[in-house]
Structure formats: C-alpha cells, structure tokens
Amino acid sequence: MLKRLFPHPYLSLTLIALWFMLVNQWKLGSLVMAIILATILPLMTSAWWPDRARVRHPLRLLGYTALVFWDIIVANFQVAYVILFIPRDKVQSRWLTVPLDLKSPEAISLLAGTITMTPGTLSSDMSACGRALLVHALHAPDPDSVRDQIKSRYEARLKRIFE
C-alpha cells in the first residue's frame, strides 16, 4: 500500500526539500503543499520510471557530493590554465573509452553527470549495450591515467553506494 502510494521514496523526499527551497521559508502550509506534490508527481511519472531505484548507502552520497564539489573547484583551475596558457595547437584533446562495472541505470547516469560536471572531461555517448562510456577529454597528454582516475575515484565509490 505504502509502496504503491510512494513508488519512489527518494524522489518524494527530494521534492519536499525542493519545495521548501523554492518557497524559502518554514511554514506549515508549505509542508502540506510539499507533501501533496511529493505524492502526486512520483505517481504521475512512475510510468516512465518503473523500477524502484535502490540506494544501498544513502548517507555516503553526501560524502560523494562533497568530493565531486571539491574536484569541480580543482578541475576548474586546471581547465582555466589550459584555456589561457596552452597554445591552441598544443591542446591535446582525446577520446577515451571507459568500460563500466556499474549496472544500475541511476548509478551510470550519476557517473556520466559527474564526468561532465568535472571540467576537462565530457561524457559523450554510451555503447549500445550500456557497458562502456565514451568520454571526451579537453587536454589529456596521458589518456590512460584520466580513465583510471574516473574508474577509481568515482566509479568505485558509486559502486559501493548503489550496488
């Protein structure tokens, strides 16, 4: 019963948090509205998201988020350096293939998003079977180390969180 009313509990919790951020104040009326939205929206969209997302360690996602934010800051300085100081014809842009160990679609989307948001790499495509990602690197003299870093730094953590 509860499962049918809330097909995606994490989505419902996220929607409640989002609604409070949107109204920007703490009132009981907002909580009622947030709960109404958190019930209706997952129900209406559940046809396009039939499987329940399974997160094994939800709290570890916070640590992962902090890590990604820190990496975004560091990588921004690296890319600013590439844009400002490396001559145009010396920028070594490469394609990389990242084989995936992850299976859960939510985890793979999160990994692809992480790769794009950490500047310098861009997830561009996925193999038809969903077992490899195509990544474009802006400046990678050593493409193998970039791939190893993606696998050890992000994918291994996501695997521990989701699977």
Partner 1 sequence: MTPLLQTAVELIVAAGLVGGGFFALVGSWGLIRLPRPMQRLHAPTKATTIGVGAALLASSIGDLPQGGTISIQEWLITLFLLLTAPISALFLAKTLILRGEADPDIPDSGTGQPWATLGQERPDP
Contacting partner 1 (CB under 8 A), which of 79, 149, 151, 153? 79
Distances (CA, A) of 13 to 39, 40, 117: 10, 13, 24
Token output for 15: 């929607």
Return the residues of window 14-73 that contact partner 1 according to CB under 8 A.
18, 20-22, 24, 72-73
Q: How far is the CB of 141 from partner 1 (least distance, A)?
A: 15
Residue 132's CB: how many other CB atoms inside 10 A?
Answer: 14
Binding to partner 1 in span 120-149, by CB under 8 A: 120, 122-129, 131-132, 134, 136, 138
Give Cβ neighbours of residue 159 (< 8 Å, ≥ 6 apart).
Answer: 101, 102, 107
Which lies closer to partner 1 via its Cβ, residue 93 or residue 145? 93
Contact between residue 79 and residue 136 where contact means Cβ atoms under 8 Å apart: no
| Residue 25, C-beta contacts closer than 8 angstroms, at least 6 positions apart | none
Nearer to partner 1, 53 or 134 (CB): 134
Interface with partner 1 by CB under 8 A: which residues? 18, 20-22, 24, 72-73, 76, 79-80, 83-84, 88, 91, 93, 95-97, 99, 112-113, 116-117, 119-120, 122-129, 131-132, 134, 136, 138
